[in-house]
Amino acid sequence: MSTEASALASKEFEPPVEPISKVGVIGGGTMGSGIAEVCARVGLDTVVVEVDDDAVEAARKTIENSLKKAVSRNKLPAATRDLAMSCVSFSTDMGDLADCDLAIEAVIESLEEKLSVFRAMDKVLAPNAILATNTSSIPVITLGSVTSRSDMVLGMHFFNPAPVQPLVELVRSLNTTSDTMERVDRFAVEVLGKRVIRCRDRAGFVVNRLLIPYLLDAIRMFDEGKVSAADIDSGMMYGCGHPMGPLTLCDLIGLDTVEAVADVLYEEFKGSHNAPPPLLRRMVAAGHLGRKTGRGFYEYD
């Protein structure tokens, strides 16, 4: 048999990639609600799990407002908005994830919180379900190690705002199988319409390993008192073509999240460029976290 014929025969007998038709999202904050919206927009049965009724209501309103804004800006047909809201449901019971094919953890960037979620997901989901984390820095292998299926655990890192940003980083731990990566890659590209890049399980992955030192340098420059926040941002927007400046981006991400990712990067690589500047520490301690608190490097209504 020729090489070409052998390849065709092999392809013919490849088992089909199991489809992902129901998705669970644990955490309905900025990232979790955005990920849920992305899934619901394409007609996937999507369940958002939050800690209590107040958090559930906040997640529901976040998704409703996001869809409403997209329609008002002619970025989304009203029919797609209606489809999305009909596909997404909310719960405070982790057991409602039992029949999901994929569960995506999107809670705060805390190792303890994420480990707790992974233990809970592993208990309630079917053995063939994939567990993913939206972490921007915590090692995927650490989260997978507390489950009975570390071969089916991977990083699935979306970017804010998830309904708008096209990129998803897929992160493979030392135990993640090729089948798991392929299944989620195809899902992200073919179903969600995202652009995927793959990377190894190293702190910061690709984007944040490059981005965070840049943001920290902008904070240090501002702290020197010789340049205003607006001028730093304008310099990168109009001099380098960035869509927004680094300090505006810090406020959008959340200064607490920037600090948490920087801490993980510094712990892993020990480079001084990854160390959170004193001003960042003080702002987080003061509760000046950016847009979500109304005050960061700028003030917000």
Active site residues: 136, 157, 169, 208
Vertex 259: Cα angle to 36 and 205 (nearest 5): 60
Please answer whether residues 48 and 25 qualify as being in contact, where contact means their C-beta atoms are separated by less than 8 angstroms: yes
- Contacts of the segment 188-194: beta carbons below 8 A, 24+ positions apart: 188/156, 191/20, 191/42, 191/44, 192/38, 192/39, 192/42, 192/168, 193/42, 193/166, 194/38, 194/166, 194/167, 194/168
- Tokens 């399980």, residue? 201
Stated as kind and residue range, the H or E segment containing 77 is none
Which amino acid does the sequence have at 217?
D
Buried b (16+ CB within 10 A) or exposed e, 73-82: eeebeeebbe
Return the half-sphere exposure (C-beta side, CA atoms, 13 A cut-off) of residue 242. 17
For residues 33 and 27, what is the distance between their CA atoms, to the nearest angstrom? 8
Stated as kind and residue range, the H or E segment containing 23 is strand 22-26
How is 255-278 classified by DSSP, letter by letter? Answer: HHHHHHHHHHHHHHH--GGGSPPH
